[in-house]
A and B are shown apart, each in its own frame.
Chain A
């Protein structure tokens, strides 16, 4: 039984997943932004309490996502102005 589980786990990590080139694939950036926010705040906060840590992480996560969205919007507008 353990060897079957091991084989199943190994198989999952030796075959790439199917990811289309579509707008939905951009959602894959969210877990990465969450990781960055969590680790960054873990290195910055001297003491970690659940409530305070969560609040700090959510604020940083939101800031990054909003900044990226605004940057994307500005680039879209710029591209539209240049090509029109």
Chain B
């Protein structure tokens, strides 16, 4: 297979990064690293789910907890939809459950950011090689 052009290479990196953001592990799936993708998806989804279970969806607070929200939105753009729901303070949560929930959901987001960077780096290393093992 012919090597990709520079534009094609950058486009591929963008696609891999975007896929990894849309669904955790999807970036690795595009690189045919299926086991990595499954492990990443299950772990990040479980961590995010535990955070929401402990603190409720109120831990996603784009108004009162912006720095946490920035980390949380790294999980997936779907977090923004939850953020719209919780903007009204209807699901306000305080105290320890809020702290634990924010820590879990934010760490899940930052772990996904690590996976996105890793997937983009792997795609870059493959550079001129054809996609796949």
Query: Hey, which bits of chain A sit against chain B, CB under 8 A?
Result: 12-21, 25, 28, 31-32, 35-36, 38-40, 42-43, 48, 53
Query: Hey, which bits of chain B sit against chain A, CB under 8 A?
Result: 35-36, 39-40, 43-44, 46-47, 50, 52-58, 91, 93, 95-98, 100-101, 103-104, 107-108, 111, 114-115, 118
Q: In the complex, are the beta carbons of B58 and A42 less than 8 A apart?
A: no
B35, B46, B47, B97: the one within 8 Å of A17 (CB) = B97
- How many residue pairs between the two chains, A and B, have CB atoms under 8 Å in the bound complex? 74
A16 to B61 CA separation, bound complex (whole angstroms)? 14
Other contacts beyond A39-B44, A48-B39: 4, CB < 8 A? A13-B53, A16-B97, A17-B55, A42-B43
A57 to B52 CA separation, bound complex (whole angstroms)? 25
Give the residue name and chain of the A residue nearest to B85 (CB). A14
Q: In the complex, are the beta carbons of B118 and A43 less than 8 A apart?
A: yes
How close is B124's CB to chain A, nearest CB, in angstroms? 14
